[in-house]
Structure 1
């Protein structure tokens, strides 16, 4: 049974996960063109301590046990809905990389356009432009793409302020402004 919060987006995800023509024998095939723009899972606190260094998790705010469990549950929910594999990209922050790996939907590639701009707000416009170029290059009929990032990045791109572990569902259209299909609350 799905948690109450996840039920809000479950009908949308069920529709997106319907088998496409040529689906495998098990009837499960990834929905074409779906982009899952996800905020990292629960990481206590706000921001990062002074001295942040990418690649050094000891200098960053990280997932706690609840966050790790939340990321695993989100991955399980996506697999239940037919998304068994995806192209997975992540911010270079440890909490995002850990979230992306714990989803267990595929190998994780770092994508600097997903990095937080909180430490350097002057980079927000250029990072958002880089992310829009990345989104414009996604084919409408391509495999699902999971992008694990930060609240500030999602808000800059969509105007939506997601909770930790929440996903905003987009549809790749070959443009820098893919439409928002809905939101998937963390389980």
Structure 2
């Protein structure tokens, strides 16, 4: 019985690495759409005095988050096909993740990637705008979208840890998860 639990533990421990390797294989082929949850930003929500134009009024990346973003960029450049485009939310934690990771690429603001409250009218409008962009993508390089957990949940139906990339599968109108890549 002990051998069974040891084998099960080994299998479960190896699963994330296998998932990550499958993700890198897809990214090397290019043409992928990737949702990235911003790097580590301690806390939850934003302060009452939140201002989208002022980073001092927002939840921001920690030192760990900045390191995570840099590691993300280094790994993408070393292990994936070229990045065709990087789109990001206007929130500072998402913009900083994109800039630190992919600064050599043109990082573009895409407001539909902004944080929203689940169940809000904004969720419906923003999700449809992002889905339109995802469905219409046909580039040879990878399209990266740096966003927030509720957005990823609405788009792909999964939770993503901070700093985790979700590689989407796309078939007609159907969007799913092809693989995940972590940067912890």
TM range (shorter): 0.7 to 0.9
1:35 counterpart residue number: 33
Deviation at 1:142, TM superposition (A): 3.1
- Asked if 1 retains the 8 angstrom alpha-carbon contact of 2:39 and 2:93, the reply is yes
SS of aligned partner of 1:9: helix
1:117 counterpart residue number: 116
SS of aligned partner of 2:163: coil
What is the rounded CA distance, in whole Å, between the counterparts of 2:115 and 2:173 in structure 1? 19
Superposed CA offset, 1:111-137 (max 9, x none): 011011139923111111111111121
Distance 1:137 1:108, change over 3 A: same
Deviation at 1:170, TM superposition (A): 1.3
1:182 aligns with 2:162: no
Distance 1:78 1:63, change over 3 A: same
SS of aligned partner of 2:48: coil
- Asked if 2 retains the 8 angstrom alpha-carbon contact of 1:33 and 1:171, the reply is no
SS of aligned partner of 2:35: strand
Ranges in structure 2 where 5+ consecutive residues have no aligned partner: 1-13
Larger Rg: 2
Distance 1:110 1:10, change over 3 A: same
- Asked if 1 retains the 8 angstrom alpha-carbon contact of 2:118 and 2:150, the reply is no
What is the rounded CA distance, in whole Å, between the counterparts of 1:138 and 1:84 in structure 2? 15
What is the RMSD computed on CA atoms of the aligned residues? 2.2
1:11 aligns with 2:21: yes
Ranges in structure 1 where 5+ consecutive residues have no aligned partner: 19-30
What is the rounded CA distance, in whole Å, between the counterparts of 1:6 and 1:99 in structure 2? 22
Distance 1:176 1:58, change over 3 A: farther
Superposed CA offset, 1:64-109 (max 9, x none): 1000000111111112213343300000100000000111251110
1:162 aligns with 2:172: no
**1:56-135 alignment runs, 5 A limit:** 56-104=54-102, 106-118=105-117, 121-135=120-134
**TM-score, structure 1 normalization:** 0.82
What is the rounded CA distance, in whole Å, between the counterparts of 2:60 and 2:79 in structure 1? 28
**TM-score, structure 2 normalization:** 0.83
- Asked if 2 retains the 8 angstrom alpha-carbon contact of 1:90 and 1:109, the reply is yes
SS of aligned partner of 1:169: strand
